Amino acid sequence: MLPSSNLILQSVLDGVFLGFLYSLMALGLSLVFGVMGIINFAHGDFIMLGSYLVWILANSLRSDPSLMSVITVPLFFTIGAAIYVAIIRPVLGKEPLIQIAVTVGVGYVLQNLALMMFRAEPRAVQISYLNFYVNLGLVSVHTAKLTSALLSLFIVLGVHYLLTKTWVGLAIRATAYDKEIASLMGINVGKIFLLVFGLGISLTGLAASLWMTFGQADPYIGSSFGLLTWVIIALGGLGGVSGLLASSIIVGVIQSLTMTLVSPSVSLAIPYIVFIIVLWFRPQGLFGKG
């Protein structure tokens, strides 16, 4: 039996919403990789850590998960800055394999910390102000998903604005372009790196708050988000907000359609197969410039 066209339409719409949230998740990773050249394998695990934190906060404060971003964003900026100083700065300029290894270690610590503290069962926040559907005839819209998609888009565009239209953004882009010349021009590269890494991690705190308005936390979502966000960067190429958004939405829609048409159990396999094949033929990404 073929699924109805309504079901497919619904699935595409959910995929698009999910895609916008993915773009927010990938934004921090893209910044850290693009500006600092740091390969952060623990990015997804910060989203996982944030999700648990939001779960605890929202349940104990009896409030909506998205409001918890007021706490998670500054907290994660601090955590990010601390991790940068303690772990990332010492391996700057070392061979990529060592950098990857160190961040794999961070991810491994976070994942097993979560396993130790919360066990493997998935946790969801029960209280949500936006946990209802609006029926639009052909499709119904889950308000929490819609809100998280819109907020994600807003933040992605905001960060894009910050990078392209402000002095700090100019300094960040100059550092990304050539950190030696940037430092000769009087830019404090160390501070920019601290800022970018802190910002990258604080964005995971924000993404986690939005994720928890409809999603669940378990110790392994970090691995999936980590790989998925890397897939998005591989497809999108670096440097463009349009590439990031387009590839996020492609990944979101592929994943959502796979869940509807094939099976939820292979919802990651299909995007990863696409990823590997794209790597073969377009190492610069689908939307990256040659």
How far is 28 from 44, CA to CA, in rounded Å? 10
Report the residue number, 209 or 247, with the smaller CB distance to other proteins. 247
Residue 279 as a binder of other proteins (CB under 8 A): the answer is yes
- Size, binding site for other proteins by CB under 8 A: 47
Structure tokens at 38: 């740091």
In the range 86-145, which residues lie near other proteins by CB under 8 A? 87, 90-91, 94-102, 104-109, 111-113, 115-116, 119
Beta strands in 45-200 (DSSP E): 133-135, 140-142
126 and 59 Cβ atoms separated by less than 8 Å: yes
215 and 148 Cβ atoms separated by less than 8 Å: no
The three-class DSSP label of residue 93 is: coil
Report the residue number, 91 or 153, with the smaller CB distance to other proteins. 91
What is the DSSP code (8-state) at residue 219?
T
Per-residue x/- marks for other proteins, 222-261, CB under 8 A? -xx--x--xx--x---------------------------
Per-residue x/- marks for other proteins, 19-48, CB under 8 A? --------------------x-x-------
Alpha-carbon Rg of the chain, whole angstroms?
Answer: 19
Binding range to other proteins, per CB under 8 A, among 125-133, 142-150, 171-179, 219-227:
219-227
Report the residue number, 71 or 270, with the smaller CB distance to other proteins. 270
Residue 276 as a binder of other proteins (CB under 8 A): the answer is yes
- What residue has token string 């592929």? 254
Least distance CB 70 / other proteins (angstroms): 29
* Residue 141 backbone dihedrals phi, psi, to 5 degrees: -110, 125
Burial class (CB in 10 A: 0-12, 13-18, 19+), 130: middle
User: Which residues are at the interface with other proteins (CB under 8 A)?
Assistant: 39, 41, 87, 90-91, 94-102, 104-109, 111-113, 115-116, 119, 219, 223-224, 227, 230-231, 234, 263, 265-269, 272-273, 275-276, 279-281, 283
